[in-house]
Amino acid sequence: MSDARQLLGMKGASGTTNIWKLRLQLMKPVTWIPLIWGVVCGAAASGHYEWRLDHFAAALACMVMSGPLLAGYTQTINDYYDREIDAINEPYRPIPSGAIPLSQVKLQIWVLLVSGLAVAYALDVWARHSTPVLLLLALGGSFVSFIYSAPPLKLKQNGWLGNYALGASYIALPWWAGQALFGQLTWATALLTLAYSLAGLGIAVVNDFKSVEGDRALGLQSLPVAFGIRPASWISAGMIDIFQLLMVAVLIAIGQHFAAVLLVLLIVPQITFQDIWLLRDPVAYDVKYQASAQPFLVLGMLVTALAIGHSPLTPGM
């Protein structure tokens, strides 16, 4: 299991000297999943995805751009700027352990960034966009990733701003990319996904519990540091639940009643697992909570996206 954790970039990983395994660990493949899923949701929300070879290939390329390339860039640059914190929280990570030179880390950052932007531009060409929407989204997301991790702004120093930037990057941005690739990204959908990203803020707080010691030592005001472990767990659960319930209200308002019922049914087990794991001991049970509850959250995202794709919010519907 420790070898698998090493390849996925998870806590509790084993050590390695293989440079390609180290590069993969820096990119944290476990974090690619929500971005890949976000592209699927965006394609569904577009209302125009068809099961054709060219559409499938374009969707796959968009997933590679969002996950391995740009999320990989985000995670690598975060590890680069967090090497002092990781030396306290996760000293086995490739950079604080000294397993990979900083020059190699910098090279990896640039290769992933340029490759992601190139794929974004190629997708704009494929979709015949007069305005390079995918490229602009990739540039915007990459900039947010940079200021999230790098001084002087370093958004992650502020629990609210940092976690919202993370939530929007994992929910709104890949959704926008998938929707713009196959249809038209509207202001209504953009605002809805930004609201949905506030549920992502709650998920981002869960990731902060494991880093409390290092964050406190270096003065980072994550929500668990600022409010304490127990109050932060309630903030996390509240954000996750309230903004999903807001999506239920939106679905009812646009006439998607069946989807609203399905979404409620997917929220109920999340609340149950919050009571079992998150609210009892978020430091000890953060991984168990995410493994049990997040599948229901991401399924709810797809239900919402499919409903939007067949609603008046989508042009041509």
Q: What is the pLDDT along the chain (317 residues), one digit of tens a residue?
A: 555 554 555 565 556 678 888 999 999 998 899 999 999 999 999 999 999 999 999 999 999 999 999 999 999 999 999 898 888 877 888 999 899 999 999 999 999 999 999 999 999 999 999 999 999 999 999 999 999 999 988 998 888 999 999 999 999 999 999 999 999 999 999 999 999 999 999 999 998 898 888 788 877 789 999 999 999 999 999 999 999 999 999 999 999 999 999 999 999 999 999 999 999 999 999 889 998 999 999 999 999 999 999 998 887 65
Tell me, yes or no, if the pTM score tops 0.85: yes
Confirm if 277 and 147 have CB atoms less than 8 A apart.
no
Structural tokens at position 182: 């196959």
Structural tokens at position 263: 């979404």
Q: How far is 207 from 211, CA to CA, in rounded Å?
A: 8
- DSSP output for 247-285: HHHHHHHTT-HHHHHHHHHHHHHHHHHIIIIITT-HHHH
Nearest CA-CA partner of 114 in 72, 177, 152: 72
pLDDT at 17: 78
- Per the DSSP assignment, residues forming a β-bridge with 158 are 221
In this structure, the chain runs to a length of 317
pLDDT at 160: 93
Q: Is residue 69 packed enough to be buried (19+ CB in 10 Å), middle (13-18) or exposed (0-12)?
A: buried
Q: What are phi and psi of 158, to 5 degrees?
A: -105, 120
Peptide bond into 152 cis (omega under 30): yes
Q: How far is 48 from 308, CA to CA, in rounded Å?
A: 12
Q: What are phi and psi of 186, to 5 degrees?
A: -105, 160
Cβ neighbors of 267 (< 8 A, separation 6 or more) are 241, 244, 245, 248, 296, 300
The counts of H helices and E strands in the chain are 15, 0
pLDDT at 316: 66
Nearest CA-CA partner of 204 in 236, 251, 158: 236
Cβ neighbors of 98 (< 8 A, separation 6 or more) are none
> How many Å from the N-terminal Cα to the C-terminal Cα in the chain?
47
- DSSP output for 89-153: H-TTSTTTTTSS-HHHHHHHHHHHHHHHHHHHHHHHHHHT-SS-HHHHHHHHHHHHHHHHHSTTT
Q: How far is 249 from 246, CA to CA, in rounded Å?
A: 5
What angle do helix axes 102-127 and 19-27 make, rounded to 10 degrees?
60
Confirm if 102 and 29 have CB atoms less than 8 A apart.
no
Q: How far is 132 from 217, CA to CA, in rounded Å?
A: 43
Confirm if 277 and 271 have CB atoms less than 8 A apart.
no
